[in-house]
Amino acid sequence: MTLDIIKYGHPVLREKGTRINQITPDLRELAADMIETMHVANGLGLAAQQVGRALMLAVIDVLGSDRPSQLLIDGQPQDLAMFMPLVLVNPELTNFQGELASSEGCLSIPEVNAEIPRAATITVRAQSPDGGKLAFDCTGLLACVAQHEVDHLNGILFVDRMDAATRASFAGKLKKLQKETTSQLGKIARPRRALARL
């Protein structure tokens, strides 16, 4: 099932995700819906906050991009197609090495793209949806997407990592998007308040 993607200005995007203690059928269904939503929106990654759930859960699929990525286990390169889409439960990133600045966008912040510096190589540790453990190193686009999504899980958006001049250049667009989101939230909240008075 395709889910609605939360847009910039919604408070859930600033919430740190709750750690997942038990992998349930509902969680697996949510992950599957997030993968479908990401693919329909032509995204490379999606965090639970972006579909209105403040959980430590993200999905990634970089196969549709021509930008280079590498996934390594015990130092050995793996076939990316065997691992995509990735479902990361309670992901943790370590061993940040090097720097790679590349163009980033976000499904929650449409029409905003900017060069963002990220670590070129990282180690990812997470649980898989079947309860197993995942541990791999990654480089290139996959490393950037993993960092972008884990930022989401901690309430950090890629616009927070823009330099001051770039952020200033998008100030008008961000303000407009925030206003639109807040307006939509207000329309949803008003009927609830009216019902509460009955």
- Placement of tokens 């021509």 in the chain: 66
CA dihedral angle for residue 160, residue 90, residue 58, residue 80, rounded to 10 degrees = 110
Q: How far apart are CA 139 and CA 181, in angstroms?
A: 34
Task: Give the end-to-end CA distance of the chain in Å, rounded to a whole number.
Answer: 34
User: Is residue 149 annotated as a catalytic residue, yes or no?
Assistant: yes
Candidates 15, 29, 115, 149; catalytic one: 149
Assign 154 to helix, strand or coil.
coil
Q: How far apart are CA 151 and CA 126, in angstroms?
A: 15
Q: Give the residue numbers annotated as catalytic, written as ranges.
A: 149
